[in-house]
């Protein structure tokens, strides 16, 4: 058996230290060692997107990364999205792998989204509430991956077109919804109405 390696990382705003086997995936570490089972494991080849999390502010496939590779990193999972009900800060432009990513305990991993959450279910991120209202999930297995992908996409593309939304969704697979309701949920969060037949989307 290979020797275990020490890792220290921040997950959902909380520091963790552990000793892990070299070939333990980050997805399995989050699920089995930390009990964060909202991160789902599907294909284990980086294709389905169900295991998507944020690593230093960027969406990544946690099934393709070893836990040891996340040493010193800031990780956010779907559990943080539900707890705080907000949207992630953009990663600093100079965030390098060797730099200190420690946060004060009082700093939430997702700062407020302002009025976008008004009228929704308390505690839900606006994307989660939009998925609920637009029936953008059925079995729900793929949903955490979609949400973690889209929370960054909506942050970085507040004026996204339908074509851009669909392109962003291309890396996540869903066998239930047909994707249209997911597009409508994203439109809702971005504050855009659906385009009329043959026309362009309007505010």
CATH code, domain with 124? 1.10.150.120
pLDDT digits (tens, 9 = 90+) for 23-46: 999 999 999 999 999 999 999 898
- 75 with 121, same domain? no
Q: How many domains does the chain have?
A: 2
Residue 104 included in any domain = no
The CATH number of the domain where 5 resides is what? 3.10.20.30
123 belongs to a structural domain:
yes
pLDDT tens-digit profile of 49-68? 999 999 999 999 999 999 99
Please state the pTM of the whole predicted model. 0.77
187 and 144, same structural domain? yes
CB atoms < 10 A from the CB of 22, how many? 12
Q: Is 91 a residue whose pLDDT tops 60? A: no
Spatial separation of the C-alpha atoms in residues 127 and 165, rounded to whole Å:
13
Q: How confident is the model at residue 112 (pLDDT cuts 50, 70, 90)?
A: very low
Distance from C-alpha of 200 to C-alpha of 203, rounded to nearest angstrom: 10
pLDDT band at 122 (very low <50, low <70, confident <90, very high): low
Which domain does 38 fall in, by range?
Answer: 1-83
For residue range 142-165, list pLDDT tens digits in order: 999 999 999 999 999 999 999 999
CA atoms within 13 A on the CB side of 129: 17
In a domain, 100, yes or no: no
Q: Are residues 12 and 53 in the same domain?
A: yes
Q: What is the pLDDT of residue 81?
A: 87
């Amino acid at each position: 058996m290979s020797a275990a390696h020490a890792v220290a990382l921040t997950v959902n705003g909380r520091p963790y230290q552990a000793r892990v086997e070299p070939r333990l995936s980050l997805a399995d570490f989050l699920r089995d060692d930390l009990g964060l089972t909202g991160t789902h494991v599907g294909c284990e080849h980086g294709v389905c997107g169900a295991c998507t999390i944020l690593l230093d502010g960027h969406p990544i496939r946690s099934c393709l990364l070893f836990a040891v590779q996340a040493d010193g990193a800031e990780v956010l999972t779907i559990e943080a999205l539900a707890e705080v009900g907000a949207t992630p800060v953009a990663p600093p432009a100079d965030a390098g792998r060797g730099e200190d990513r420690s946060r004060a305990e009082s700093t939430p991993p997702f700062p407020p989204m302002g009025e976008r959450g008004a009228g929704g279910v308390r505690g839900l991120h606006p994307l989660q509430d939009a998925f609920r209202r637009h029936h953008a999930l059925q079995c729900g297995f793929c949903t955490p991956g979609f949400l973690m992908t889209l929370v960054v996409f909506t942050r970085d593309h507040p004026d996204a077109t339908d074509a851009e939304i669909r392109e962003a969704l291309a890396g996540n697979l869903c066998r239930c919804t047909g994707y249209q309701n997911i597009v409508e949920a994203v439109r809702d969060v971005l504050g855009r109405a659906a385009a009329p037949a043959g026309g362009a989307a309007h505010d």
